[in-house]
Amino acid sequence: MSASPAETTAPTASTVPTGITAPTDSSAVPDVADARLAARRVTVIVGVLALAVFMSSLDLFIVNLAFPYIGREYHGTGLDTLSWVLNAYTIVFAAVLVPAGRWADRVGRLRVFISGLAGFIVGSALCGLAPSVPALIAARVIQAAGAGLMVPASLSLLLASVPAAGRAKAIGTWSALGALGAALGPVIGGSLVQLSWRWVFWINIPVGLVAIALAARIVPDSKDKHTRGRPDVAGAGLLALAVGMAAFALVKAPDWGWASGKFLGVLAAAAASGIAMIIRSHRHHSPVIELGLMRSRVFSGTFAASILYYAAFGAFVLNSVEFLTGVWHYSAIRAGLAIGPGPLMVLPFARVVAPRLAARLSGPGRVAVIGCLVNAGAMTLWLTQIQAQPAYLTHLLPAQLLGGAGVGLTIPSLLGAGSLAISPDRFGTGSGVLNMARQVGTVLGVAALVAILAHMGQDPIATFRQALVMVIAFFAAAGVVAAATLLARADNGAARAQANGPAAS
């Protein structure tokens, strides 16, 4: 097994084990000081890298509360069109992730990370200057390409920089801040749109510049010397086409008809693109999806569960925004604040509760299952309480708090379970595939939700109940898949063995 340069030089653990008194001679002092300095440096590195994933996740959903304002500025633009401001970002994000991960492994992860941040900043500036909805969607494509570069490079840099003993905690922080960014999107968006919806995008510019400066100064570079060949760009295009056409079919299905020739034709074209992408992945030396990784039950189970979980998560966030602003008639900032308590539960559960449960339950797989069930339970609670008359404290808030706890349990646990099947020389590739699953799930969940909400009838509560049933079904399905694939002791042992040996190819 080859280790990345950053990994071979990363600090190991504290030189003074817990419960043992350190020697008092002066020769030991520099070692302790060095260990503490190294620990602080790792903390800063994790913070810088997590900031990038926070920004990219934030922009998945920050536009939700800007939709009414964008629609008013560009009169006559409906939810089905505005949803592509979100979906275009997510589709391109998903398509770029794996080729970007491979490119990062090959040319240097820090270089790709900083390039992605720069592209993200440029795309954000163009979004804020967009003179029309089509121009805004095009700018979101540029922004998404930057995010797709920086996210897999971010995780691979983290895995290469953090000692093995501290990776679980670091992954928890990284993934929790990503989830927090997605969940806080409506909160921050609701505040910024009071100035202008354009500030939803411009806020990324100063934050991104600070992240670039810190990364260039603090984060150590790493790469895989054995990576060969160029990434499969055509395969990435096929993936984007497949996901995009599937989302388009779902959004248009209520107009076309679920059994219409148009719907079935576009769905068949999406399936054909997906099959072509899989065939290319089988033959290409640097495929979009490394099929060898999928032979691991843990990795493939994490991949499938992530798609289902993020379909539910993406639909849930947009559904909450649409309900609060459309039925309870909350202002954008009030709706954002109403959503806020849920995200506040994410970080403590991801940083404290999830790692402790994983230690007690023999791995993160069981924690992921529990988290999925908690989320399904939270949405079931809200389904029983939903009503047209506003009753936030007694009806919605308990479900929001329970749902935030579920997110904090599930997201780092899924990523932690999947990372067991990734060897160091596949950090960029493997993390790209897992993050791709997240984006694909988000696209499909949002598209399915739009198909339900775009044709709301006389009883909006009945429509939102249908949406909640769909969200519950996705969360429950993610839990079932996680239980079926991540709990087998034998397979967990095999995954750990693979994590300590060469990746499958």
Q: What is the pLDDT of residues 228-277, one digit of tens each?
A: 667 788 888 998 999 999 988 988 888 898 889 999 999 999 999 999 99
DSSP 162: S
Q: What is the pLDDT of residues 154-195, one digit of tens each?
A: 878 887 887 777 777 777 777 777 767 766 777 788 888 888
The pTM score is: 0.78
User: Per-residue pLDDT for 25 more than 50?
Assistant: no
Which has the minimum average pLDDT: 37-46, 73-82, 240-249, 393-402? 37-46
Q: What is the pLDDT of residues 187-217, one digit of tens each?
A: 788 888 888 999 989 989 998 999 999 999 9
Q: Which CATH architecture best describes the domain 36-220+286-499? A: Up-down Bundle (1.20)
Rg of the Cα trace of the chain? 22
Which helix (H) or strand (E) segment holds residue 420: the answer is: none
Separation of alpha carbons 218 and 239, rounded Å? 35
Separation of alpha carbons 127 and 121, rounded Å? 10
Both ends of the chain: CA-CA distance in Å? 13
Give me the residue spans of the domains in the chain: 36-220+286-499, 232-285
- Residues 207/55, Cβ–Cβ less than 8 Å: yes
| Whole-number average pLDDT of the chain | 82
Measure the CA angle with vertex 168, ends 162 and 173; round to 5°: 85
Nearest alpha-carbon partner for 315 in 192, 191, 409, 403? 403
What are 168-172's contacts with CB under 8 Å, separation 24+? Answer: 168/355, 168/358, 168/364, 168/416, 169/351, 169/355, 170/42, 170/46, 171/412, 171/415, 171/416, 171/419, 172/350, 172/351, 172/354, 172/355, 172/412, 172/416
Say whether 388 sits in a helix, a strand or coil: coil
- Residues 371/406, Cβ–Cβ less than 8 Å: yes
Task: Give CA separation, 228 vs 103, 106, 144, 394, in Å.
Answer: 10, 7, 26, 58
Q: What is the pLDDT of residues 90-133, one digit of tens each?
A: 899 888 888 887 788 788 889 999 999 999 999 999 999 999 99
Nearest alpha-carbon partner for 444 in 200, 213, 229, 267? 267
Separation of alpha carbons 337 and 339, rounded Å? 5
pLDDT of residue 337: 86
- Residues 127/140, Cβ–Cβ less than 8 Å: yes
Separation of alpha carbons 342 and 178, rounded Å? 14
